[in-house]
Amino acid sequence: MPRPAAMLVRPSVVATVAVAAVVAVGLFALLTVFAGLRTAGWLGGGTFLALTAALVTRAARQAGASTLGPAGSVTALRAVLVGGVAGLVVQEIAGSRPAPTTTLVALTVAALLLDAVDGQVARRTRTVSELGARFDSELDAALLAVLSVQVAGDLGVWVLAVGGMRYAFVAAGWVLPWLRGSLPVRRSAKVVAAVQGVALVVAAADVLPRVASTVLVAVALAALVWSFGVSVVWLARHRPGAVPREGRIASFYEDEGSPRAGGDSDGERGAAGETPDDDGERGAAGPTRPGWRRALGATLTVVAVLVLGAVLVAPQDPGAVIPEVYLRLPIEGVAGLALLLLLPRRVRVPVALVAGALLGAWAVLTAFDVGFATVLARPFDPVLDRALVADGVEFVASTYGRAAEIGAIVAAVVLGVVLLGGAALAARRVVTRADVHRRVVLRALGVLGAVWLVAVVAGTTIAPGVPLAAASTAAGATVRAHITLTSLRDADAFAAQSRADAWSGVPAPDLLTALRGKDVVLAIVESYGRAALTDPGLAPTVTPVLDRADRDLPAAGWGARSGFLSSSVVGSGSWLAHATLLSGLHVDNEQRYLTLTSSTRFTLSAAFRRAGWDTVAMQPGTTRPWPEGAFYGYDRAYNVRQLGYRGPSFGWASMPDQFVLDRFDQLELDKPAPRPPMMAEIDLVSSHAPWQPLPHMIGWDQLGDGSVFDGQLPNPPEPPGSTAESQARAGYAQSIAYTMDALTSWVQRSNDPNLVVIAVGDHQPAPLVTGPGAGRDVPMSIISRDPAVLARTASWGWTDGLRPPPTAPTWPMEAFRDRFLQAFSGP
């Protein structure tokens, strides 16, 4: 016997939605564990459920219903299942992971089975309502739409007609009001609707051959066209009687102010039909504003839409910044505005302000991404890269002066405030103006959503490689979430890795035995990358210097072997590359660097110190105390103030490399005998950006305190028509040629018969110089007068001379420490 409705527990609409949200989080968590649901799936499924909740809450408010009843609770559970299906499908569309067929089918079948349950519950509990029926039918349509998107990926874009037929019918009613009339219940319509679900599930399950699935879905579509055709014919024949009966609930697609929702025909708020807009003026029914004010308001609204649209579609890759990119259709804007318009009016503007501010923050992060991609060939990591922002400010100060530093900070702060505040105000403007014409705007958003979906499935582009359908913000948020989670997990894993070191316990007598009595210089050349040897625009400047050295060094009794290392960084972050080279660990962010330098990791320089070498670091780019020197195992470290340079400043590096090498001779190598063997890291930084102005070689005996370089400034003017890119490329090539000329010339004039020089680049220059896809490889050479030293590297496969060929072996930079210690230690 049916239970009386009065005896039933009737949770409120808000309570039902809240419980469904909790269940949805649990379902999505299970899908994450067992079906690989990722951020894209969470965003897609969550957006679907948020829109569903907003639509249901709004429809209940229009109908004056405080509860969805027991059947509505079952339908809400079915909506959660459909949200899970939507999440899996969105994830596959995003390309992050294919939807697991078994899970997808299981969720769909469960949702279809519950479709039969909620109707039975409503009838048995005597709680049948038009609100529940509308909720049920619209959810059926949504499930078919989601399934059609999934199947269209395999069978073709035409399958979207199955899921889009219902929405096309509703849209047609906006133009032809008689199509919105009430239809009689037809059993055939229910059967046809069920056939659509079955056909799409079978096709999605991939249990039939492709041809059979195509035929099945085509037959189902034909039946659907016939069913809608019957409805259209019936409505056309009964046009005079198509007026909705009094008390009928408004459709989910109708505005609160529409005639069928019981409001005014102009869609304005309240009985008076007027809505104060954000300027304090009346809406469509209020006093007419002057023409210039209307034009100004319309202009501001258009500008606000363009600003928000530009933020949503702006690429994080500077190479993708082309005009066509800003013509894409962002689904985040479509779904976000629709959701805002479906919220209660009292919270709509505050939520819009918050959403706009978040978009402004996203614009700031996008700007950081573009900057980091330009310099470091990777996106900005908010967790690990915060220290690099301060380093960038310091670089500006040391290169261009204190005034430039202050100007850069002020400009950055102002831009950040403008982006956050401007985006918030733009979102408020768009929402308040859209609220005045909500019915039209919601319909337009529905059409745009359909266009976006078709464009995704069909792969529509507006330019080569530029799809019409954009989800840049959602995709970027997915990538950023992955980067952040990886960064947070990385700290502990790297700390454990830094503690595992087989070389740390090797006794001094067994270390570096093949280099006993040798002075070893590790010369690290700033930004010396493979591009300097292979890029047709750079190599003609650099390789003649190396070729000349390959002729002159053997004549003076020197030999050289060369290969490549793959650096941990690109464009900047020299200290990270140095840490990688000396520690044998991949150090590519500040967190790893701090973890490493606070550990007891055994570095290459510390190995020399343990084995009896006197260790020193020459660091002309360091302007303050360097506590990391103790970690690396250096007895002494010379910074820029301790080298006694009195010449002009050459950009960030200040002093020329030739002067640094000469000061190393005076301070260390020329000490009176007896002295212990020397191991030195010498940073050669004249090739550090911005590569202008540049010093030129002078006679070694003329260096003095460096004041001789005064006559080399300023550099000659750039040729007419040169661009920033061409100037950077030319300056970079000249700087590498200068540094390698200084280094090889210094080696040739050395009076130390036991000198061993290891010359290596720390990273490739910025993509502004190399262009995209240049890689991370840097050249490395070992130079010595002792054939026995070079013989120790025979197993490395390195080639003779200072120019390794493109086919030369390439190791990860973190592999060098272990290979070097293994080659030069032991018998």
**Cα 307–312–313 angle (5° rounding)?**
100
What's the CATH number where 632 sits? 3.40.720.10
For residue 558, the SS3 value is coil
Q: How confident is the model at residue 402 (pLDDT cuts 50, 70, 90)?
A: low
Hunting for tokens 């073709």 — which residue is that?
A: 156
Q: How far apart are CA 381 and CA 494, in angstroms?
A: 17
Given a contact cutoff of 8 angstroms between Cβ atoms, the answer to whether 559 and 800 are in contact is: yes
For residue 393, being part of any structural domain is answered with yes
More confident of the two residues 2 and 385: 385
Structural tokens at position 292: 């210039």
Shared-domain flag, residues 243 and 320:
no
> 238-242, 351-355, 674-678: lowest mean pLDDT where?
238-242
The maximal CA–CA distance of the chain, rounded, in angstroms, is 114
Q: How far apart are CA 736 and CA 778, in angstroms?
A: 12
Mean pLDDT across 713-738:
81
Given a contact cutoff of 8 angstroms between Cβ atoms, the answer to whether 571 and 766 are in contact is: yes
Q: How confident is the model at residue 813 (pLDDT cuts 50, 70, 90)?
A: very high
Q: How far apart are CA 820 and CA 339, in angstroms?
A: 61
Select from 446, 472, 498 the last residue of a domain.
472
Mean pLDDT across 722-741:
90
What confidence score (pLDDT) does residue 280 get? 37
Structural tokens at position 175: 């133009």
What does the pLDDT look like over 27-47, one tens digit per residue?
999 999 988 888 888 888 999
pLDDT of 514 above 90: yes
Shared-domain flag, residues 259 and 302:
no
The bridge status of strand 559-566 relative to strand 799-800 is antiparallel
What does the pLDDT look like over 107-158, one tens digit per residue?
999 998 888 887 788 788 888 888 888 888 889 999 999 999 999 988 999 9
Q: What CA–CA distances, in Å, run from 499 to 6, 489, 504, 584, 817? A: 69, 17, 9, 12, 15
For residue 232, the SS3 value is helix
**Cα 343–344–346 angle (5° rounding)?**
125
Shared-domain flag, residues 328 and 223:
no
Cβ count near 123 (within 10 Å): 12
Shared-domain flag, residues 732 and 645:
yes
More confident of the two residues 322 and 652: 322
Shared-domain flag, residues 386 and 531:
no
pLDDT of 464 above 90: no
What does the pLDDT look like over 213-225, one tens digit per residue?
999 999 999 999 9
For residue 285, being part of any structural domain is answered with no
Shared-domain flag, residues 121 and 235:
yes
Shared-domain flag, residues 319 and 395:
yes
What confidence score (pLDDT) does residue 477 get? 79
Cβ count near 273 (within 10 Å): 18
Which H/E stretch holds residue 758?
strand 755-761
> 281-285, 416-420, 474-478, 736-740: lowest mean pLDDT where?
281-285
Hunting for tokens 């050349």 — which residue is that?
A: 525
Shared-domain flag, residues 114 and 64:
yes
Q: How confident is the model at residue 285 (pLDDT cuts 50, 70, 90)?
A: very low
Shared-domain flag, residues 316 and 463:
yes
pTM of the model: 0.69
What confidence score (pLDDT) does residue 535 get? 95
Q: How far apart are CA 230 and CA 592, in angstroms?
A: 68
Total of domains in the chain: 3
Identify the burial level of 102 via C-beta atoms within 10 angstroms of its C-beta, where 0-12 means exposed, 13-18 middle and 19 or more buried.
exposed
- Mention every residue, 6+ apart, whose C-beta is less than 8 A from residue 194: none
User: Which amino acid makes up residue 790?
Assistant: L
Given a contact cutoff of 8 angstroms between Cβ atoms, the answer to whether 399 and 690 are in contact is: yes
For residue 813, being part of any structural domain is answered with yes
What confidence score (pLDDT) does residue 258 get? 41
Mean pLDDT across 254-278:
38
Domain membership of residue 218 as a residue range: 5-265
For residue 795, being part of any structural domain is answered with yes
Select from 208, 243, 265 the last residue of a domain.
265
Given a contact cutoff of 8 angstroms between Cβ atoms, the answer to whether 127 and 71 are in contact is: yes
What confidence score (pLDDT) does residue 738 get? 95
pLDDT of 746 above 50: yes
Shared-domain flag, residues 341 and 237:
no
Shared-domain flag, residues 114 and 200:
yes
Structural tokens at position 451: 């266009």
pLDDT of 681 above 90: yes
Shared-domain flag, residues 299 and 255:
no
Q: How confident is the model at residue 670 (pLDDT cuts 50, 70, 90)?
A: confident
Kindly report the backbone phi and psi dihedral angles of residue 18, in degrees, each rounded to the nearest multiple of 5, phi listed first.
-65, -45
* One-character DSSP codes across 85-98: HHHHHHHHHTTSSP
For residue 809, being part of any structural domain is answered with yes
For residue 564, being part of any structural domain is answered with yes
> 194-198, 257-261, 373-377: lowest mean pLDDT where?
257-261
Q: How confident is the model at residue 487 (pLDDT cuts 50, 70, 90)?
A: confident
DSSP for residue 622: -
Of 561, 595, 560, 596, the closest CA to residue 581 belongs to: 596
End-to-end alpha-carbon separation of the chain, Å?
Answer: 95
Given a contact cutoff of 8 angstroms between Cβ atoms, the answer to whether 131 and 16 are in contact is: no
- Mention every residue, 6+ apart, whose C-beta is less than 8 A from residue 45: 24, 28, 37, 83, 84, 86, 87, 88, 90
Select from 423, 455, 472 the last residue of a domain.
472
What does the pLDDT look like over 537-575, one tens digit per residue?
999 999 999 999 999 999 999 999 999 999 999 988 899
Please report, rounded to a whole number, the percentage of residues in the chain having pLDDT higher than 70: 88
Mean pLDDT across 243-266:
42
What does the pLDDT look like over 60-115, one tens digit per residue?
888 888 888 888 889 999 999 999 999 999 888 877 678 888 999 999 999 988 88
Structural tokens at position 772: 């995209």
Mean pLDDT across 190-195:
84
**Mean pLDDT of all residues belonging to the chain:** 85
